[in-house]
Chain A
Amino acid sequence: MGNRTSLKKVLMFHFVLFLLVPIFIINFFTFRVLTKHWEEEIAGRNYLLAQTLAGEVEEFLSEPIHILAQIQAVISEGSLVNDRYLDDYLSLILKNYQFFDMIQILDKRGEVQYVAPFNRDYLGTTVMGQDFFKATLAAGQPYWSQTFISTHSGQPTLTVSMFVGQGVVVGYLNLGKLTNVIDRVKFGPGSFSGIADQSGTYIAHTNKENVSQRVSIRKQEFNGNRRTYRYNDQGRDMLASTAMIERTGWSVMVSQPYSEVFAPVNQARTIFLAGTVFAWLAAILIALLTLNKVLRPVSELAQKAKEIAGGNYDSNLQANTYQEFSGLAQDFVTMSEAVKEREKEIKSSLQEKDVLLREVHHRVKNNMQVISSLIRLQAGHSQDRIQKELLEESQHRIRSMFLVHEKLYQSPDLAKIDFRDYVHSLVNGLYRSYGADPEKISLKVDVADIRLGLDNAIPCGLIVNELVSNALKYAFPQYANLFENAGHDQCGEIKVILRSVSEGKIELIVSDNGIGLPEGLDFKNTESLGLQLVTTLAEDELAGEIEVNRAEGLEYIIRFGGVS
């Protein structure tokens, strides 16, 4: 019984299995799909942003080129042959187009021929050693330099230069203007956008210091071949999108902390996680409540069944939420009431039978007592001593039998008698009948607390009657006549013992310390009716065995079974 699986555990397990696992699986896969979708959408959005910025930078770049081309055309036409006019023209350009910090016109050796704003220091100096000059001569087309510190402003700068007939026109670009393009994009903390030149040095950045300090883009920050990618920035996971500007080889980058970009995803994850945990907790709570509702009536029914088995029919079962359990509880109450009614009827019937049985025993006892009295009267009228004795013996036998009936109807259960009480009543009657003095012939009754049924009580009673009568009659001849034996000292003793010797086995011992059986008398083959009765009763009625011990006085031991 103890090894059987608990219904509650099984039901709980199924609740958990069929509620929690699907919740987890659904949430897990839904989240995976959503995350992928969001990632693609965000990556696409960031790349679009980078492309937009690149477009704006392209637009920004086209203007300086246009201006330089204009200067180139003016010089080529030779309309401004006068140096002063050319200086003025350049100054005017510089004033109108403030993305230039300085414009120089160089000869083919790189010597500064004209400079705006005018600075005599620059005139005649050479930029021959500078990369942009060499590259412009080599390329023959507009060239965008890497960043370097401007001798003019002392700040990082870059140049755009163009080959003109006899030399090069070069514009020193104000990087602040590029920064304005970047600044239009507003990000959260930790995010940035930037433009890096062909060497990877920032020429515009959300953090201005990265430009002023000529910080180089990191390898992991930049991957021109990939539109959107992840990288690690000193422990921070970043998502970057890069768009290239073909004309200059610059790259425009938009970079955001992964946590910020995917804040909605993280929020959704938190919601999913919290939702999953909440759903789990709710599922477990519902399971517990439901199981409690289901199992409580079952437990109550089991408890009530136990109580009914114990005789308590106070069926007070509470109504249950579930129709099935309410019906069951109602049926159970009906059933317990029916059982209660039937038990009442049975008890009543038993009581009637009990009364009847007592009455029967009473009447049997009365009838037998009448018979006994009649025999006794008959004996009183008989002159023949032998006949009288025979009648008295018969009366004793009948008495031993009606005493059983008397004890039976006095007994609480009507089926068994208290044999000790019976033996006392029987033997006391015999003492009186035979006029034995209990002080001379003492009686010792040692009967265990054994209750005998009618089947055993009557044979046992008859046996005790016969053996005690024999003892009173024959065992102590010295006391046969009280008057003759007055003053005799030695006491006789009769013992009646009834005890249990093993399970279901009873031993009845009747003994005396009298003179014993005559020599040579076989108690089983004797003319004595009493002894014949004893043997017959012991062996036939009780299905037992009889043993005589003559060592000291006389001792009969009868063993029989069948007593529960």
Chain B
Amino acid sequence: MNKKIKSPLIILVILVLILSLAFGCSSPEQPIKIGFSGTLTGRLSELGVSGRNGVILAVEEVNNAGGINGRTVELLTKDDKNDSDVAMVVDRELINEEVVAIIGHMTSTPSAEVAPLMNKEQMLMISPTAATNSLTGLDDFFLRVFPANKPETDKLAEYAFKKLGVKRVVSAYDISNPTFTREWHNNFQTEFEALGGECVLKKPFDTRSVTSFLDITQELISVQPDAVVISASAIDTAAISQQLRKLNQDIPVISSTWAMTDDFLQYSGPAGEGVVFAHPLKVGNQHEEYLTFAEAYTARFGNQPSFSATFGYEAARILMEALASSDNHSSQALKDYIIEKHTFHGLQGDFVIDRFGDAVRDVFLITVREGQFIRVEQDGK
């Protein structure tokens, strides 16, 4: 009997195979998951949104080029709401979702908060923009492509004291991101006072509860300072700048890196003219890689890349380069690759990630002229 029905069975099998081919079926390889954590909502979201967009662009470019060793990269994004507790929660979610590494956080406070968790879980975190010194010089799983803020504050203090002749400053800083702003303020003050200057007024404020920047600004100028130093987001720095202009105060404004985004130019308008920053971003960067990136970014997101987009893109490229280097995607292996490689070719030229995973980059003095960021040395005024 078996023999007798063999022929029809063979035909049946062939037809089923034809049918299967006709309807098609395939099972692609699992994507490599990477996480992104940053502040994506609220007043301070500019840094996070731009950083996330930079990461998205890098991931899309890699996927469009065929992925990493044939596997696509899947980006899982989380909003830390600039809240340390939320940051812990979303990072745990990413770990549970089996990401190979997390790009983030974009601000220092959540970064410093989650660093112990990353070490405990042995989860690699690469921050595009966190500048806190508290994570500098630690052999941990927290890496970054942005330099710590000490060289920046030193440079600004020196510039303010020596070039601008500023002797008395007032300082306003947003304590919704205290790890960064307090540290930044303290570093600046220490260096500025070491040079012979004086910080005559400290004005911490919390952007989440502030009611009037006019009041804050009036308080700042009430002591008749030579300059105002601000460590806050682009919107808030712009708001204080606007109030200063409104009050006809033509005094120098010195800002932290945090505010140096396109939003600052938009929100401050003419009031932003002359504000000074010290930043690792090479303004007017004409590197071919940067121009290609900027063009692609603008085409993709409809606006120019901010520094956080640039550093987000670089962080993602470094992570994906490490992922492509080996099939071992453990955080230790990825970290080892990055530390061993040491020098990376970024959008602004070569930069170094030292043995502690901290970026070493030059810092440039930048100001605003005619609604554009320019290098101070290029400023005719």
Contact = CB atoms under 8 A, between A and B. Distances in A.
Interface of A: 6, 8-9, 12-13, 15-17, 20-21, 24, 28, 110, 120-121, 123-131, 146, 148-149, 151, 154-155, 198-201, 209, 212-214, 216, 218-219, 234-235, 269, 273, 276-277, 280, 284, 287-288
B242 A148 contact: no
Interface in B38-53: 40-43, 45-46, 49, 52-53
A212 B301 CA distance: 16
Contact of B79 (A8, A28, A209, A276): A209
25 contacts: A6-B4, A9-B7, A12-B7, A12-B8, A13-B8, A16-B11, A17-B11, A24-B15, A120-B214, A121-B214, A129-B267, A129-B269, A130-B266, A131-B266, A146-B302, A148-B266, A149-B46, A151-B267, A200-B300, A201-B301, A209-B79, A213-B45, A214-B49, A235-B72, A284-B12
A200 B11 contact: no
Given A13-B7, A16-B8, A149-B235, A129 B302 contact: no
Contact of B270 (A13, A20, A126): A126
Among A154, A198, A199, the one with the most B-chain Cβ atoms within 10 Å of its Cβ is: A154
B4 A213 contact: no
B268 interface: yes
Contacts of B41: 155, 209, 212-213
Nearest to B368: A129
Given A12-B4, A149-B235, A20 B40 contact: no
Contacts of B5: 12, 284, 288
B8 A28 contact: no
A214 B19 contact: no
Given A13-B11, A129-B268, 11 more contacts: A9-B4, A24-B15, A24-B18, A28-B19, A125-B239, A128-B269, A129-B371, A198-B302, A234-B74, A284-B8, A284-B12
Contact of B8 (A110, A235, A287): A287
Contacts of A234: 31, 72, 74
Among A151, A200, A219, A277, the one with the most B-chain Cβ atoms within 10 Å of its Cβ is: A151
Among A15, A17, A121, A151, the one with the most B-chain Cβ atoms within 10 Å of its Cβ is: A121
Contacts of B11: 13, 16-17, 20
Chain A: interface secondary structure?
A: mixed
Contacts of A280: 12, 15
Contacts of B198: none
B22 interface: yes
Nearest to A28: B22
Nearest to B236: A151
Contacts of A24: 15, 18-19
Interface of B: 4-5, 7-8, 11-12, 15-16, 18-19, 22-23, 28, 31, 40-43, 45-46, 49, 52-53, 56, 60, 72, 74, 77, 79, 212-214, 235, 239, 242-243, 245-246, 263, 265-272, 300-303, 371
Contacts of A129: 265-270, 272, 371
Given A124-B246, A235-B28, A235-B72, A154 B263 contact: no
B227 to A, nearest CB: 21
Contacts of B242: 125-126
Contacts of B271: 125-126
A16 B7 contact: yes
A357 B30 CA distance: 100
B325 to A, nearest CB: 24
A454 B40 CA distance: 126
Contacts of A120: 212, 214
Contacts of B269: 110, 126-130
Given A13-B7, A199-B301, A130 B270 contact: no
A200 B303 CA distance: 10
A212 B266 CA distance: 20
Contacts of B22: 28
A302 to B, nearest CB: 16
